[in-house]
C-alpha cells in the first residue's frame, strides 16, 4: 500500500436512481484495470454490473448497499463507495458521505437535476463534501448538458463551471472538447480505451472559446496569478487553471462539470483525471472527533499514520466467514495484530485480518493507514462505532439518523424460518440504524420498522434470499403518536390502605407541551413534600406512561412534566406507591391537556411530463396532500407536496397508471402533524375493534 497521502482519493458516486452511476463505476474499474470485462446493470449477459454484489441488486437494477472498492489511476489510489440512489436508503448515502472526502455527482443529461439529486446535494452540503459533476448519458435522445448546468445553478445553487463541451449530442455524440487544453478528445477502440486528441472541430471553436472564457472567469476568482495572467493576456497553463479550480472546488465554491456517456465508454478517463486533479486528498479535509473526557469537545484529527488511532466503522456486511466491517481510518494506522478499543462498548479487540475491498472480492493487507478505507474481519461491532488506541476516548461525531416512520408485522412460516429470521434481523439492525425491530409484548408479533415501503420490502426479500427465512408480512402500519396541546394540572393521591402493607403517595404539578423533545421531567418540589428518595420513582412512573398513550395507545411525545407538590406517608410510601401515583397523575392531567394524535407527513416530489400535471395533482390532493408548489421545467413539471404517509401506500402503482409510467416520485419524512378529527375518529374506531378482537 502506498503511503503518499496526497495521492489518495476517497470518493463517492452519488446520484438520482437510474442516472447510470453503477455503470460509471463499472467503467472506472475497467479502465483502472481492476476488472477485465464490462457488464450492464440490467445486462442481457446476466452477469450484472460488477459493483452490484447482491443478487437482489442485480435483479432490480438498483444499488442498495454501498460496495467499497479501490482502484489506481495515474499514480493515485482511489477508494470508491458506490452509493444507493433511492431515497429510502439514504442512510447509506449519509454514511458514505460521512467517510468520504469528495464526490462525483452523476446527473442524467436528459433528466437533469432530479429530486433525489437535490436530497443528495443537501447531504453533501451537510458533510461539506466537495464535488465534481458528471453529466452522463450524453448519447441519449433529448440530451442537453447545458440545460443541466443551468439547473445545477438554479436548483442547487452551485457555481457550476463546464470544463468540457460535447462534440455532437444524442446519437452523434462522439467525444468532448477539453476546455483547459483546448483539444478535442475522442475515445477509440472497442471499449473506448484509446484516447485520441485532435484539434477542435471548426464548428465548435467559437463555442469552446466562449465556454473557456466563462471557465477562466470563474477560476480566476481563486487565483491572483491566474487573474493577472488573464488581464495581461499571458499564456495560461492548464496547471494554473487546475490549481485555481481545485481551490474553488475544495472550498465548495465551484462545481467543475464534466460530461460523457459511461454506457458508450466516453469521457470516463477524463473524469478520473479530474478526480485526481480536483477532488481533495484526506489531508485537505478537516475531520473532528469528540473528546468524551472533555464534555465532547471537538478534537481535530491529523492524517498521520504515527498518531494514535481513530477509525470509524461505517458499514457492516455478513460474509461466509463472519462479519466484515468497513473502516475509515482518520488518524494513526490500523494494523494486523493491534489491540484497539470500541469506544461505545469499551471492549478491547485484537485486530485479525485486515483487507482492502474490491466489491465482493478482497485483498489481504498489513495495515490501513490514516486517510484510507479498508475492512476488518471477525470484529463484533455496530455501524457507526469508533475504534481507538487504548487510552484515547474520542468518538467520531454521531451521524444524523432519522426515526422510522413505517412498520409492519412479520411472521415466520416455520420453525427453521424463525431461527433464520432472528439471525437476519440481528444483522440488518446492526447494519442499518434506520431499520428497527421489536416484539409486541401483547401480541408476541415481530414488528419491523423503517423509512418507507420499499425499504421494508427489500429487507423482507433479503430475509428470504440470504437467510432462507420465509415470512408472511402484515399490512404496513404508520407510526402514529400522541402529544398534548395545552398545559394541564394534576393532583393525584394513590392510596391503598386496606389490609396488608399500605401504599400512599400524592403528586401535584402540571403537564405542558414540549417542542423538539420527547420528554422532560422537572422537579420543583420544595420543602420535602415528596421525599427526595421518591423523586426518581415519580420520574420513572411518568416515563412508563409514554410508551402507550392513554388516548389511543400510541407512543406519547412532546410532554414536559413538572411536579411541585405532593405528600408522603412515613410507613406506606414507597417507590412503587409513587410510581403508581405518577401513572395516576399522568392519566388525570393528560386528558385535560387536550391530547391529539399525530401522523408522519412525507415530503413527496413528483416529476411528471406537463401533460399529466392535472391528474398527478388530483391524485396527491385525494390523498389528503397539500401541494406546496408546481415548478414548470419545460416538458417536465415538478410538483412538491406534503402528504400523510398513511395515504401513500401503493402510490407508485397509481402514479404509473396515471402517467403511462412516465412520472416518478421520491418521498422522505418531513414532520409529524396532527391528524384531522375525522381520521382520528376512524383510528379510534379501528383501535376499539382491535381491542375487542384481542379480548
Q: Are strands 131-136 and 102-108 parallel, antiparallel or unpaired?
A: parallel
- Alpha-carbon distance of 212 to 138, in angstroms, equals 20
What DSSP string runs through 546-558? TSS-TTTSPPB-S
Provide, rounded to whole angstroms, the least separation between the CB of residue 298 and another protein. Answer: 30
Q: Site map for another protein, 561-600, x if CB under 8 A? A: ----------------------------------------
Which lies closer to another protein via its Cβ, residue 84 or residue 595? Answer: 595
Least Å distance, CB 632 to another protein, is 4
Nearer to another protein, 197 or 626 (CB): 626
**Residue 412 or 600: which CB sits closer to another protein?**
600
Beta strands in 413-463 (DSSP E): 436-439, 446-450
SS3 192: coil
Stretch that binds another protein, among 274-282, 344-352, 367-375, 616-624 (CB under 8 A): 616-624
| Cell numbers given for 463 | 430475509
- Measured from the CB atom, the residue of 156 and 646 that comes closer to another protein is 156
3-class state of residue 223 by DSSP: coil
Quick one: how far is CA 695 from the chain centroid?
42
Report how far apart, in Å, the C-alpha atoms of 568 and of each of 139, 495, 529 are.
80, 10, 7
CB-wise, 149 or 268, nearer to another protein?
A: 149
CA 593-595-601 angle, to 5 degrees, is: 140
Distance CA(110)–CA(607), nearest Å, equals 13
Rounded Cα distance between 471 and 412, Å, is 4
**Is the CB of 251 or the CB of 628 nearer to another protein?**
628
Q: Which of 352, 390, 531, 614 binds another protein (CB under 8 A)?
A: 614
Nearer to another protein, 41 or 663 (CB): 663
Q: CB nearer to another protein: give 397 or 557.
A: 557
**Sole window of 247-255, 458-466, 497-505, 620-628 interacting with another protein (rule: CB under 8 A):** 620-628
Task: Choose among 66, 178, 165, 193: nearest CA to 109.
Answer: 165
In the complex, minimum distance from the CB of residue 154 to another protein, in angstroms, rounded to a whole number: 6
* Residue of 268, 617, 658, 675 that binds another protein (CB under 8 A): 617
Min separation Cβ 630 and another protein, Å? 5
| Pairing mode of beta strands 471-473, 477-478 | unpaired
Of the two residues 313 and 639, which places its CB atom closer to another protein in the complex?
A: 639
Among residues 566, 559, 525, 517, the alpha carbon closest in space to that of 542 is found at 559
Q: Compute the least distance from the CB of residue 672 to another protein, in Å.
A: 12
Site stretch for another protein (CB under 8 A), options 443-451, 456-464, 569-577, 619-627: 619-627
C-alpha cell at 504: 400512599
What is the closest distance, in whole angstroms, from the C-beta atom of residue 644 to another protein in the complex? 14
Q: Which of 517, 686 has the CB closer to another protein?
A: 517
With contact defined as beta carbons under 8 Å apart, do 197 and 182 qualify? Answer: no
Distance CA 112, CA 152 (A): 8
Residue number with CB closer to another protein (390 or 614): 614
Give the shortest CB-640-to-another protein separation in angstroms: 6
* Piece of the chain touching another protein by CB under 8 A; list 175-183, 408-416, 443-451, 609-617: 609-617
Q: Give CA torsion, residues 647, 653, 659, 662, to 10 deg.
A: 120
Q: Which of 119, 613, 659, 666 forms a contact with another protein (CB under 8 A)?
A: 613
CB of 586 to another protein, least distance (A): 24
Q: Which lies closer to another protein via its Cβ, residue 298 or residue 618? A: 618
Our CB check for another protein shows the closer of 155 and 356 to be 155
List the Cα angle 685/687/690 in 5-degree steps. 110
Binding mask 504-543 for another protein (x = CB under 8 A): -----------x----------------------------
| 486 makes contact with another protein (CB under 8 A) | no
Q: Give 593's contacts (C-beta < 8 A, 6+ positions apart).
A: 484, 485, 486, 487, 488, 511, 512, 513
Identify the DSSP state of 84.
P
Which of 439, 468, 576, 626 forms a contact with another protein (CB under 8 A)? Answer: 626
From candidates 627, 670, 679, 687, binder to another protein by CB under 8 A: 627
Name the minimum Å distance from CB 618 to another protein: 5
To another protein, the closest distance from the beta carbon of 609 in angstroms equals: 14
Compare residues 346 and 629 and give the one whose CB is closer to another protein: 629
Which of 18, 9, 156, 22 has its CA nearest to residue 83?
Answer: 22
CA distances in angstroms from 428 to 138, 315, 352, 450, 466, listed in the order given = 38, 11, 23, 11, 11
Sequence-distant (6+) residues with CB within 8 A of 372 are: 1, 8, 10, 77, 79, 282, 328, 329
Question: What's the CA gap between 129 and 280, in Å, rounded?
Answer: 9
Q: Which stretch binds another protein (CB under 8 A): 53-61, 526-534, 558-566, 621-629?
A: 621-629
Binding positions for another protein, 64-103, rule CB under 8 A: none
Q: What minimum distance in Å lies between the beta carbon of 615 and another protein?
A: 9
CB 245, CB 219: distance < 8 Å: yes
Residues 119-178 that bind another protein (CB under 8 A): 154-155
Cell digits of residue 221? 476568482
Distance from C-alpha of 371 to C-alpha of 10, rounded to nearest angstrom: 8
Say how many residues touch another protein, by CB under 8 A.
20
Beta-carbon contacts of 461 under 8 Å, excluding residues fewer than 6 positions away, are 56
Please state the closest distance from residue 613 (CB atom) to another protein, in A: 7
Contacts of 165 (CB under 8 A, 6+ apart): 145, 176, 177, 179, 204, 207, 208, 211, 259
Closest to another protein by CB, 251 or 671? 671
Cα–Cα distance, 468 to 418 (Å, whole number): 10
CA distances, 586 to each of 155, 536, 550, 591 (Å):
48, 15, 9, 9
Distance CA 184, CA 167 (A): 8
Closest contact distance (angstroms) between CB of 215 and another protein is 24
- With CB under 8 A as the contact rule, which of the stretches 128-136, 188-196, 626-634, 677-685 interacts with another protein? 626-634
> For residues 289 and 638, which CB has a smaller minimum distance to another protein in the complex?
638
Reference 323, options 352, 348, 363; nearest CA is 352
- Among the residue ranges 363-371, 377-385, 497-505, 614-622, the one whose residues contact another protein (CB under 8 A): 614-622
What element of type H or E holds 537?
A: helix 535-544
With CB under 8 A as the contact rule, the residue among 546, 673, 679, 687 that binds another protein is 673
d(CA 208, CA 166): 10
Calculate ∠ Cα 588-593-599, nearest 5°.
115
Fill in the per-residue mask, 628 to 667: x = in contact with another protein (CB under 8 A), - = not in contact.
xxxxxxx---x-x---------------------------
Contact with another protein (CB under 8 A) among 339, 403, 544, 621: 621
CB of 643 to another protein, least distance (A): 13
Among residues 227 and 627, whose Cβ is nearest to another protein?
627
Nearest distance in Å: CB 115, another protein: 12
Residues that bind another protein (CB under 8 A): 154-155, 515, 613-614, 617-618, 621, 626-634, 638, 640, 673
Amino acid at each position: 500500500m502506498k503511503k503518499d497521502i496526497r495521492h489518495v482519493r476517497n470518493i463517492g458516486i452519488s446520484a438520482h436512481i437510474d442516472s447510470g452511476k453503477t455503470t460509471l463505476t463499472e467503467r472506472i474499474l475497467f479502465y483502472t484495470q481492476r476488472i477485465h470485462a464490462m457488464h450492464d446493470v440490467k445486462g442481457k449477459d446476466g452477469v450484472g454490473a460488477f459493483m452490484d454484489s447482491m443478487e437482489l441488486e442485480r435483479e432490480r437494477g438498483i444499488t442498495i448497499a454501498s460496495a467499497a472498492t479501490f482502484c489506481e489511476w495515474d499514480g493515485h489510489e482511489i477508494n470508491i463507495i458506490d452509493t444507493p440512489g433511492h431515497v429510502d436508503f439514504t442512510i447509506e448515502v449519509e454514511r458514505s458521505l460521512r467517510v468520504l472526502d469528495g464526490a462525483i455527482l452523476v446527473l442524467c443529461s436528459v433528466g437533469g437535476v432530479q429530486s433525489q439529486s437535490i436530497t443528495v446535494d443537501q447531504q453533501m452540503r451537510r458533510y461539506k463534501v466537495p464535488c465534481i459533476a458528471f453529466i452522463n448519458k450524453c448519447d441519449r435522445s433529448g440530451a442537453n448538458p447545458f440545460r443541466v448546468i443551468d439547473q445545477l445553478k438554479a436548483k442547487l445553487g452551485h457555481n457550476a463551471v463546464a470544463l468540457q463541451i460535447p462534440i455532437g449530442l444524442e446519437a452523434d455524440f462522439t467525444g468532448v472538447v477539453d476546455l483547459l487544453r483546448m483539444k478535442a478528445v475522442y475515445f477509440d477502440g472497442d471499449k473506448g480505451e484509446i484516447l485520441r486528441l485532435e484539434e477542435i472541430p471548426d464548428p465548435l471553436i467559437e463555442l469552446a472559446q466562449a465556454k473557456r472564457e466563462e471557465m477562466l472567469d470563474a477560476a480566476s476568482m481563486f487565483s491572483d496569478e491566474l487573474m493577472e495572467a488573464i488581464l495581461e493576456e499571458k499564456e495560461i497553463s492548464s496547471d494554473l487553471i487546475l490549481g485555481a479550480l481545485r481551490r474553488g472546488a475544495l472550498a465548495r465554491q465551484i462545481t467543475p462539470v464534466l460530461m460523457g456517456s459511461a454506457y458508450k465508454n466516453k469521457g470516463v478517463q477524463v473524469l478520473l483525471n479530474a478526480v485526481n486533479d480536483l477532488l481533495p486528498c484526506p489531508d485537505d479535509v478537516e475531520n473532528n472527533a469528540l473528546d468524551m473526557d472533555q464534555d465532547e469537545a471537538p478534537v481535530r484529527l491529523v492524517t498521520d499514520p504515527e498518531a494514535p488511532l481513530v477509525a470509524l466503522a461505517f458499514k457492516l456486511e455478513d460474509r461466509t466467514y463472519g462479519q466484515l466491517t468497513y473502516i475509515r481510518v482518520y488518524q494513526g494506522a490500523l494494523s494486523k495484530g493491534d489491540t484497539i478499543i470500541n469506544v461505545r462498548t469499551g471492549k478491547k479487540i485484537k485486530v485479525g485480518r485486515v483487507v482492502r475491498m474490491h466489491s465482493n472480492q478482497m485483498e489481504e493487507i498489513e495495515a490501513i493507514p490514516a486517510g484510507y478505507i479498508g475492512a476488518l474481519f471477525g470484529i463484533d461491532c455496530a455501524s457507526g462505532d469508533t475504534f481507538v488506541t487504548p487510552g484515547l476516548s474520542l468518538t467520531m461525531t454521531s451521524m444524523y439518523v432519522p426515526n422510522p416512520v413505517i412498520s409492519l408485522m412479520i411472521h415466520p412460516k416455520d420453525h427453521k424460518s424463525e431461527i433464520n429470521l432472528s439471525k437476519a434481523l440481528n444483522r440488518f439492525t446492526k447494519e442499518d440504524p434506520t431499520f428497527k425491530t421489536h416484539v409486541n409484548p401483547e401480541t408476541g408479533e415481530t414488528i419491523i420498522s423503517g423509512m418507507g415501503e420499499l425499504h421494508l420490502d427489500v429487507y423482507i426479500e433479503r430475509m428470504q434470499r440470504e437467510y432462507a427465512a420465509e415470512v408472511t408480512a402484515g399490512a404496513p402500519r404508520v407510526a402514529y403518536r400522541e402529544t398534548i396541546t395545552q398545559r394541564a394540572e394534576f393532583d393525584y393521591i394513590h392510596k391503598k390502605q386496606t389490609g396488608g402493607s399500605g401504599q400512599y403517595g400524592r403528586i401535584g404539578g402540571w403537564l405542558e407541551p414540549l417542542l423538539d423533545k420527547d420528554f422532560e421531567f422537572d422537579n420543583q418540589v420544595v420543602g420535602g413534600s415528596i421525599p427526595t428518595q421518591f423523586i426518581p420513582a415519580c420520574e420513572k412512573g411518568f416515563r412508563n406512561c409514554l410508551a402507550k398513550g392513554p388516548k389511543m395507545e400510541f407512543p406519547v411525545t412532546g410532554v414536559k412534566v413538572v411536579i411541585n407538590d405532593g405528600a408522603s406517608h412515613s410507613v406506606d410510601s414507597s417507590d412503587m406507591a409513587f410510581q403508581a401515583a405518577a401513572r395516576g397523575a399522568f392519566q388525570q392531567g393528560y386528558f385535560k391537556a387536550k391530547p391529539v394524535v399525530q401522523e408522519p407527513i412525507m415530503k413527496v416530489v413528483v416529476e411528471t411530463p406537463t401533460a399529466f400535471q392535472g391528474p398527478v395533482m388530483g391524485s396527491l390532493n385525494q390523498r389528503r396532500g397539500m401541494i406546496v408548489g408546481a415548478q414548470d421545467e419545460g416538458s417536465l413539471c415538478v410538483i412538491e407536496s406534503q402528504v400523510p404517509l398513511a395515504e401513500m401506500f401503493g402510490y407508485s402503482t397509481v402514479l404509473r397508471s396515471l402517467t403511462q409510467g412516465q412520472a416518478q416520485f421520491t418521498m422522505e419524512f418531513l414532520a409529524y402533524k396532527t391528524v384531522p378529527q375525522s381520521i382520528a375518529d376512524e383510528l379510534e374506531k379501528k383501535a376499539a375493534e382491535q381491542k375487542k378482537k384481542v379480548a
